[in-house]
Amino acid sequence: MDLIITNLADRPDLAPLLDRFPPSWPAFMYHDPLAPLAYDRATTALAEFCLVAVDRDAPDVPVAKAYSVPCSLPESDADLPPGGWDAVMLAFAEDQLRGRRGNRLCAVEVSVRPELRGRGLSPLMLQALRRNAAARGYGELLVSLRPTGKHRHPHVPMAEYVARTRPDGLPEDPWLRVHVRAGGRVVGVAPLAMTITGTLAQWRSWTGLPFDTDGPVLVPEALVPVHCDVAADHAVYVEPNVWVVHRT
């Protein structure tokens, strides 16, 4: 595959391809209420930070995409907010309202077409994000990282899960391992990275599960259980992520 990876500021003609990209996440993940703050501006205010990959021989089919967001966050990695991904969305929105450019750049998504996963495209998109960050004057790329294997261990605390390593010393989690191999440093856990709420009817439609019993519900691909409250007719998912920092 002869890939072309570019940002939408340089190739605005590729923006319509984003509408043809197949779903990359479980249905409930598309209902974080803060996501529209940045995603609705992906092809406009964030065009220079929105990357699309296509095959040179099939340029009308999007192969992968990657988004990053400039936002005002603490300079010290030790002070990065526990809100993780959601905090990035809010910080970006505040910067837009104040007319300022964020001091740090955070990657918020890297997605590869499902049928092309496992072919080394995710590391290429991560490299492209880092190069694009450097080209925009950012010395670091932050990531509120969603470990791809954590959903198999929903009851394990995130800090404990992140500490698990293979015999070669690399992280056990596949996506975290890609970042560490690329030079990323794990600097902490974001315990409140995404909060997704909904009525029980909504959660049933998103997951196909009954949501008819109080307490934790194990949802496929959720990193931790979803809390169900039958009397209140709602359920809440609070996802932890991991803060990773890359030098660009």
What number of other Cβ atoms are within 10 A of residue 230's Cβ? 13
3-state SS record for 168-179: CCCECCHHHHHH
> What is the pTM assigned to this prediction?
0.95
**Mean pLDDT computed over 219-239:** 98
Phi, psi of 201 (to 5 degrees): -65, -40
CATH code given to domain 3-194+240-247? 3.40.630.30
Going 38 to 44 to 47 to 52, the CA torsion angle's sign is positive
Q: What is the pLDDT of residues 99-142, one digit of tens each?
A: 999 999 999 999 999 999 999 999 999 999 999 999 999 999 99
* Alpha-carbon torsion angle 36, 37, 43, 46, nearest 10: -150
Q: According to the model, what pLDDT value does residue 95 have?
A: 97
Helices (H), 187-244: 200-207
Q: What is the pLDDT of residues 145-191, one digit of tens each?
A: 999 999 999 999 999 999 999 999 999 999 999 999 999 999 999 99
